[in-house]
Amino acid sequence: MTIEALEIVLPGIVDPEGLQITRRQLAAPGPGQVSVRMEATGVSFAEQQMRRGKYYDQPAFPFVPGYDLVGTVIEVGTGVDPALVGGRFAALTKTGGWASAVLLDAADLIPVPTGIDPAEAEAVLVNGVTAWQMLHRVAQVRSGATILVHGANGGVGSTLVQLARNAGITVIGTASARHQDTVRALGATPIDYRDPDVPARVRELAPAGVDAVFDHVGGPGIADSYRLLARGGTLVSYGSASTRDDPGASRVPVLKLLARVLLWNALPNGKGAHFYNLWAGLRRRDTFRAKLRTDLAQVFHQITSGTLAPQVAARIPLQDAATAVRLAESGTVTGKVVLVP
């Protein structure tokens, strides 16, 4: 079967309007591969960094961005069960998802339960796995605990708040002033991250400190996040949003965070610190895939049982990726901007 795929190419460091639309014939799936027609793909913070050349392990330009997608299998290669054709699956791709059709390894497909809308499933792929693994695998926060979630209206943040609330955890969430009501509606107590003294606002709500902090902001403020921990508490650093527009090498801010984490863990004060990386463990690919499937199944289960509401900020046609990126970067949205065919 010959399929023409529409792709969005990031040619270099450009404004969103510099994204290019191209078309190419998709090759037939090779052994172990499937071709998938995209139904939803997302705009993550990662693409905001990639278009500035600031994502710590992005490929050389030009490339097709797109961290994750949901789609339907249209053809299988040799060695792949033909019964997959017509099924809806999710995949984490890191790049390549912004295309109307893609080739994937069949082993990377994660089934999407019937009844979940593709855009809603898309909103919890990288966001859901990241939130679930940080909360339950890394920090292992227990029911009754109190946590601080930075960027509580964002894609990861809005998912993390809900997963935590569902686990009986009290959540304080930072967000800009316009998102306070949204954060409250998700079940967290909001704090404006532009408040001149965010740590003081947190201490008013949690005088003894919090049991975990989830920090994607990085920069000097990471020290406040660590100081806000109660004894036995855990800091999970997982990004460096505050340095997105800084000049210089993309790896430096992350290396600085890793150095701080190492240092803090050497202190005998009962606190723990981690840098979470979704792709850690990829070398043991089968174990990595099994974890993704297990964790995403838990997230999907919360959607089908009605306890997790995926936050789809907007659905925008793939060809209008520039509009979608502008919107995602506008600081006006809650949750995930989703690209659809």
Element (H, E) at 9: strand 3-9
DSSP string covering 254-315: HHHHHHHHHHHHTSSSS-EEEE--TTTTTTSHHHHHHHHHHHHHHHHHHHHTTS----EEEE
Q: Site for ligand NAP (CB under 6 A): which residue of 97, 151, 190, 253?
A: 151
Residue 192 CB, nearest approach to ligand NAP (Å): 9
Convert residues 77-116 into a mask of x (bound to ligand NAP by CB under 6 A) and - (unbound): ----------------------------------------
DSSP string covering 108-143: G-EEPPTT--HHHHHHTSHHHHHHHIIIIIIS-PPT
Q: Site for ligand NAP (CB under 6 A): which residue of 36, 80, 278, 296?
A: 278
Tell me the window of 16-24, 84-92, 126-134, 222-230 that interacts with ligand NAP (CB under 6 A). Answer: 126-134
Convert residues 41-70 into a mask of x (bound to ligand NAP by CB under 6 A) and - (unbound): ---xxx------------------------
Element (H, E) at 70: strand 68-76
Please report whether residue 128 would count as binding ligand NAP according to CB under 6 A. no
Q: What does the block give as tokens for 125?
A: 């792929």
C-alpha dihedral (156, 313, 109, 308), degrees to nearest 10:
60
Q: Which residues pair with 317 in a beta bridge?
A: 340
Please report whether residue 216 would count as binding ligand NAP according to CB under 6 A. yes
Tell me the window of 88-96, 151-159, 222-230, 264-272 that interacts with ligand NAP (CB under 6 A). Answer: 151-159
Residue type at 71 in one-letter notation: G
64 versus 156: smaller Cβ distance to ligand NAP: 156
Please report whether residue 135 would count as binding ligand NAP according to CB under 6 A. no
Residue among 104, 323, 129 at smallest CA distance from 238: 129
Q: Which of residues 160-179 bind ligand NAP (CB under 6 A)?
A: 175-176, 179
Q: Site for ligand NAP (CB under 6 A): which residue of 71, 239, 253, 310?
A: 239
Residue 71 CB, nearest approach to ligand NAP (Å): 20
Terminal Cα distance for the chain, rounded: 19
Q: What does the block give as tokens for 280?
A: 């850690």
Tell me the window of 70-78, 137-145, 270-278, 297-305 that interacts with ligand NAP (CB under 6 A). Answer: 270-278
Residue 69 CB, nearest approach to ligand NAP (Å): 15
Q: What does the block give as tokens for 142?
A: 């227990």
Query: Quick one: angle between helices 285-304 and 155-166, nearest 10?
Result: 70
Residue 132 CB, nearest approach to ligand NAP (Å): 11
Q: Site for ligand NAP (CB under 6 A): which residue of 53, 117, 187, 242?
A: 242
Q: Site for ligand NAP (CB under 6 A): which residue of 217, 228, 296, 327?
A: 217
Please report whether residue 126 would count as binding ligand NAP according to CB under 6 A. yes
Residue type at 254 in one-letter notation: V
How far, in Å, CA of 153 to CA of 176, rounded? 9
Residue ranges in contact with ligand NAP by CB under 6 A: 44-46, 126-127, 130, 151, 153-157, 175-176, 179, 193, 216-217, 238-239, 241-242, 276-278, 328, 331
